[in-house]
Amino acid sequence: MSVEKASRKGDDEKGEEQLVVIPSSEYAAKPAAAEGAPMKMDVAVRVTGCSDDLSSGDADIDPKLLELTADEEKCRSIRRQYRQLMYCVRQNREDIVNSANNSLTEALEEANVLFDGVSRTREAALDAQFLVMASDLGKEKAKQLNSDLNFFNQLAFCDFLFLFGGLNWMEGEPDDLSDCDDNIALSFWKAMEKEATSWMAYQEGRLQKLLKMNGPEDLPESYDYDLIIIGGGSGGLAAAKEAAQYGKKVMVLDFVTPTPLGTRWGLGGTCVNVGCIPKKLMHQAALLGQALQDSRNYGWKVEETVKHDWDRMIEAVQNHIGSLNWGYRVALREKKVVYENAYGQFIGPHRIKATNNKGKEKIYSAERFLIATGERPRYLGIPGDKEYCISSDDLFSLPYCPGKTLVVGASYVALECAGFLAGIGLDVTVMVRSILLRGFDQDMASKIGEHMEEHGIKFIRQFVPIKIEQIEAGTPGRLRVVAQSTNSEEIIEGEYNTVLLAIGRDACTRKIGLETVGVKINEKTGKIPVTDEEQTNVPYIYAIGDILEDKVELTPVAIQAGRLLAQRLYAGSTVKCDYENVPTTVFTPLEYGACGLSEEKAVEKFGEENIEVYHSYFWPLEWTIPSRDNNKCYAKIICNTKDNERVVGFHVLGPNAGEVTQGFAAALKCGLTKKQLDSTIGIHPVCAEVFTTLSVTKRSGASILQAGC
């Protein structure tokens, strides 16, 4: 790949510089290199047709150039070529970090050759810019070299770095490198990055004047903070406290944009305020209602009519959330983490603008940034949705009982909310576009839907709302919902007191200035692609939590990722977050716990002929006396028959499914096999013991109905 700076001439015949990336003849003429073969990157730079091209005639040269000395003209030309070399390196990032070639070494050599031709003091700022960029690439390459040292000449690579950077502060001479171990590249980069970063900070003002790459404002000579975290949710707070523990200066910016109905909340993010915590508490309220009904069969005398007090529940839930908000503030203060209730937006490299709810702005700088902004509920984009509907962001602090409720959506949020609203005695309908619980095991999802319908929750399938109208204002009021079939032109209408939208969530990444600093996002979803160390394409910016592309959207995952990231950045750790075999629970009336692969994913990954599914219904002992829901609780494991029947998927429907799943998740992490499960003695009588006696396979078609516990 080479870069050419061409000239376009308009009507006024004045040249306009244009950077053009052209394929080198080597790439055009030759087929792709075989796997493992060295790949050479053409980093040659050609400067042609520019208005200030040294090869042009005097008539095409700016008159000011005529006043420059020959050495100054040469320096200017070389600086231009150097910038183009850096552009070429960025464009070929994937090739450069490939362990099967020496492209980074060649780029360093090319840069050294450029400045060998300059007689005066070399342009240190450009050196620093290139070294910092090369450091980032080199660390990636070094990680590959730890396992594959066959195609990369470490000695030549490090030798060029010594010559190029003038890094005589390193102990020893280049010739001594032959005695170093396989991690020489990684060790060298750690030391070199520190020196190059310091050099860069000293030269930053001059660099901006030379390159004019980042707008009119110079980069900061020093940083206000070591780490600024955008987002005060579970992951961001975990990272902040962990980083502060290692003596780093940390700031957390957290701001809640009010919902269309004006709902907002305190520090702690979705989980604490409008997610896991209030959801589980309201789920518990519904379970207690069922327990009161069951208690009569155990001898308790309970009034025939058991009523629920919505206001009392909301007050209790919000009081608990308030105590958590306060606890987070205290924890940050104790760790000396600076907290500001302000909206963070990138305005340039290493700079961020913080705007509070009064519109007051402050500018801060940091060596590193962590994006942990989470997600917010999606709206339908139809008439009346934002005016009259609520989302889960509103539900958990709703100051009045929602009454007859339509839940729109088939996500776990939709089914969980529908479940506890019905559990406290409300009339609930769920409108579903297609399938329930997309992304989860569909066998389990179907059983959840069947159980909810059997317990009074109505489902309208394959319809979507197209208009929401207010019939009568109030708390609650009356709403008319117009919906259309997804398979035909059929239109239906219904009246409800409340419409709850739970159709999905969108990443909060589009209005925080990521485009200003060049952070790449998935334009369709807003999610941020990262490396296995949660690093974005901009080396000093990291991301964790629900905003990551192709990662699990769960609070404990964000917390784990945040802590481990801080440990890698500031404590020398190399441990990365493991996104495989993450346990989760859906708190529907019949709880669903899962870990590992769904049955569909297992078939896709291993092939149907290579998996065995063991399953069984079971009847919790505590449900026998009230005589409820026999043959509804269900256990299933999915085994890879090509790997000693290793358990690759674990699924359970039943009471306390989360508690059951947590322990088995650890076993799956350790490579649990079916034989090990069979040899485990169960605890009797508990629900989890069913997994120690599973013997019927789906393939056999044998009955799994249970007559007793």
Q: What is the pTM of this model?
A: 0.71
CA distance 248 to 566: 10
In a domain, 703, yes or no: no
| 493 and 520 part of one domain | no
Residue from 283, 320, 451, 684 carrying the catalytic annotation: 684
Report the CATH number at residue 516: 3.50.50.60
| 27 and 95 part of one domain | yes
Measured CA distances, 235 to 231, 297, 354, 413, 517 (Å)? 8, 45, 20, 20, 22
In a domain, 217, yes or no: no
pLDDT, residue 48, reads 36
| 530 and 675 part of one domain | no
Report the CATH number at residue 631: 3.30.390.30
Answer yes or no: are the C-beta atoms of 88 and 47 closer than 8 Å: no
Strands (E), 378-455: 390-391, 405-408, 428-432
| 431 and 354 part of one domain | no
Of 153, 178, 211, the domain-final residue? 211
Residues whose CB is less than 8 angstroms from the CB of residue 599 and which lie 6 or more positions away in sequence, other chains included? 441, 442, 443, 611, 613, 636, 638, 649
Known catalytic residue at 684: yes
Kindly list the averaged pLDDT for each block of 10 residues, start to end, along the chain of length 709: 41 41 38 40 39 40 52 72 78 71 76 64 59 69 53 50 45 39 50 49 38 46 94 98 98 97 96 98 98 94 90 98 97 97 97 96 98 98 98 98 98 98 98 97 98 98 98 97 97 98 97 96 96 97 97 97 98 97 98 98 98 97 91 96 98 98 97 98 96 97 81
| 248 and 372 part of one domain | yes
CA distance 24 to 108: 19
pLDDT, residue 46, reads 37
pLDDT, residue 75, reads 73
Query: How are the residues of the chain apportioned to helix, strand and coil, as percentages rounded to the nearest 5?
Result: 40, 20, 40
Domain count, the chain: 4
Answer yes or no: are the C-beta atoms of 545 and 372 closer than 8 Å: yes
In a domain, 282, yes or no: yes
DSSP 32: P
pLDDT, residue 59, reads 44
CA distance 450 to 473: 34
| 255 and 359 part of one domain | yes
In a domain, 697, yes or no: no
| 188 and 114 part of one domain | yes
Strands, sheet with 390-391, edge to edge from the N-terminal-most edge strand: 390-391, 498-501, 405-408, 428-432, 458-461
| 56 and 179 part of one domain | yes
| 7 and 87 part of one domain | yes
Measured CA distances, 126 to 82, 122, 200, 619 (Å)? 8, 9, 9, 71
In a domain, 627, yes or no: yes
- What range defines the domain where residue 288 resides? 225-377+506-570
CA distance 339 to 253: 6
Residues whose CB is less than 8 angstroms from the CB of residue 68 and which lie 6 or more positions away in sequence, other chains included? 76
